[in-house]
A and B are shown apart, each in its own frame.
Chain A
């Protein structure tokens, strides 16, 4: 109404006809501009401050693969940027000259193949050589060959070479994990990998393994010496934190170099601790002891008749160190009596025995972070004879890693903790633990372990690692080849823990087919090779792991003597 009124007023004053229309247009435009400016201010100032850097993430390239470091931060795997050389054959003018120049710098390149590649004018892209060092790249670049270019690529490098190769695994040429932790980071562990990423800075934090590089090396070094000395086919060893389930060292020889994935293809270099399953033999006996003690079927004062071989159906169970008398429980342990252990299992009952082994996890595939995990081999029909042989570790094959994690539960107060290859705190481990046996049973097992090191088959280890209060059980298992036990092909092992009064670490050492030597008086049982090897390993790693030695008076005297001999 007001506009019409004013319009009338203007009309009356006789102004130009279009002036009011012009004003309307100006008003309209100003309104438009006001809206635009307001929107601009809102977008650039208000939102810009509120959202921060949110909008940028989508533009980022693929996140880098995390570095892998050991528990102390020692670098085990990292990404390096390298150059790869490619060519566009259509743009190459003189193939012969190009081939000559390139092979002069890269003499290992096959010149005939290269000529064929570069002569193929149908293709516009061929790789000439991938992953070359910066110095070589600048040399090749200076040749100035037309049609040749470089592309930056990521190369996964394992600066420690063979160290912890079986844990780390390796990647393919496109940086995809093929084995070990590397594969875990891509597959099941993808959530863990993502938690390491920092997308704003386009970086990732390192993945911390539970492995201690120094302990790993000490184990590998001693095992390599043992393989050479005892002319064994292979060896393997694990050190595990008894209270957290962290694998501190895991060695399997022969190993491979992850920088050269082809060397991992050799069937001999499989990881014997998780990829292979074995009849572990006598080192499983403590599980039977724990079961019998825990169920109340026997006490530490019980006795077992080992005068005669035990007849089960057609089979007869003999003792290796036959005593031919009634043995007490500690004697059954230190003499490693098959008869006594079998009687223990029978005293508990066949179904109960089976249930206990299932509770220990022996019937299912143990899978920590490593994707290479084998399924145990369990007899389909479980009868009396199966229980008798399973009592001393025969007739069923498991991953050695399963054996050691159950042993940890036997000595750490009865808590079965799933093993891990990633760094884990004590609280987190307790959350995952299940009470496997009673703490009192664990105490008895600790006593038996220590007794076996002081008086039994593990004496040599106790001598070599004097002061670290070790304890353990030996195992000499005849190997099964084509369904038959072969007498002179043995898998020798030692499973132990230290310090025995409150075990911090459990250790497993395995030697595959060690040979009898003159120095071992023709013996090739575990006490002569696996045990001293374990002793040497413990003497080396205990100081690294912060276990304080306590020497008894006798051990102090013998150390004093040795010192004088050296001087």
Chain B
């Protein structure tokens, strides 16, 4: 009886030791992975900051102004170019009146045909 219990204990000790060892091993692996991921994240974050700074440098107002002058025909907005939404109708060119002769036959029927295809 005692022998059986003892051997069971030894066996369970071995099993436990193996489990602990393998757990520790896999945890170390995980820790390495985590450390690597953290390092990657930090490096990526640093790269993002670097690119942010570069973007900001490339889009700084004085540079954009120089480039716009060189390559675009745009000018600063003048006061008379602002139009309030209510006043849009007086500024937009009039909408051309529909010309019934342009489409022969029944225009709505044609549209429906177009839908069926």
List A residues at the B interface (Cβ < 8 Å). 74-76, 78-81, 157, 159-161, 163, 213-214, 216-218, 221, 465-468, 539-540, 542-543, 548-549, 551, 555-556, 559-560, 563
**Considering the chains assembled together, what is the distance between the CA atoms of A161 and B79 in angstroms?**
31
Query: Residues of B within 8 Å of A, CB-based: how many?
Result: 20
**Considering the chains assembled together, what is the distance between the CA atoms of A468 and B76 in angstroms?**
15
Report whether B76 and A75 are in contact in the complex, using a CB–CB cutoff of 8 Å: no
Report whether B53 and A159 are in contact in the complex, using a CB–CB cutoff of 8 Å: yes
Q: From A160, A213, A559, give the contact of B79 (CB < 8 A).
A: A559
Report whether A221 and B65 are in contact in the complex, using a CB–CB cutoff of 8 Å: yes
**Contacts A80-B49, A549-B79, A559-B78; is A217 near B62 (CB within 8 Å)?**
yes
**Contacts A74-B56, A81-B46; is A214 near B78 (CB within 8 Å)?**
no
Query: Which of B55, B76, B78 has the largest count of A CB atoms less than 10 A from its CB?
Result: B78
**Considering the chains assembled together, what is the distance between the CA atoms of A214 and B62 in angstroms?**
9
Q: From B56, B65, B78, give the contact of A75 (CB < 8 A).
A: B56
**Contacts A75-B52, A78-B52, A163-B62; is A549 near B82 (CB within 8 Å)?**
yes
The 4 closest A-B pairs by CB, nearest first: A467-B79, A217-B61, A559-B80, A549-B79
Q: From B61, B76, B78, B82, give the contact of A548 (CB < 8 A).
A: B82
Closest to B61 in A: A217
A-contact 0/1 string along B30-67, CB 8 Å cutoff: 00000000000000001001101111110011100100
**Considering the chains assembled together, what is the distance between the CA atoms of A309 and B60 in angstroms?**
53
Closest to B75 in A: A566
Could you say which residues of chain B place their CB within 8 Å of the CB of A161?
57, 60, 62
List B residues at the A interface (Cβ < 8 Å). 46, 49-50, 52-57, 60-62, 65, 76-80, 82, 84
Least distance between B49 CB and chain A CB atoms (Å) = 6
Q: From B52, B55, B56, B80, give the contact of A556 (CB < 8 A).
A: B80
Could you say which residues of chain A place their CB within 8 Å of the CB of B56?
74-76, 78, 159-160
Q: From A78, A217, A543, A548, give the contact of B65 (CB < 8 A).
A: A217
Query: Which of B55, B65, B77 has the largest count of A CB atoms less than 10 A from its CB?
Result: B77
Least distance between A208 CB and chain B CB atoms (Å) = 15
Report whether A78 and B49 are in contact in the complex, using a CB–CB cutoff of 8 Å: yes
**Considering the chains assembled together, what is the distance between the CA atoms of A213 and B57 in angstroms?**
13
Could you list some 12 contacts between A and B, CB below 8 A?
A75-B52, A76-B56, A78-B52, A159-B53, A160-B60, A161-B57, A217-B62, A467-B79, A539-B78, A548-B82, A549-B82, A559-B79
Least distance between A70 CB and chain B CB atoms (Å) = 10
**Considering the chains assembled together, what is the distance between the CA atoms of A540 and B54 in angstroms?**
27
Query: Which of A78, A159, A563 has the largest count of B CB atoms less than 10 A from its CB?
Result: A159
Could you say which residues of chain A place their CB within 8 Å of the CB of B62?
161, 163, 217, 221
Q: Taking A160-B60, A163-B60, A468-B79 as given, write out 9 further A-B residue pairs in contact, using a Cβ cutoff of 8 Å, ordered by the A residue number.
A: A75-B53, A75-B55, A78-B52, A80-B46, A81-B46, A159-B57, A216-B61, A217-B65, A559-B78
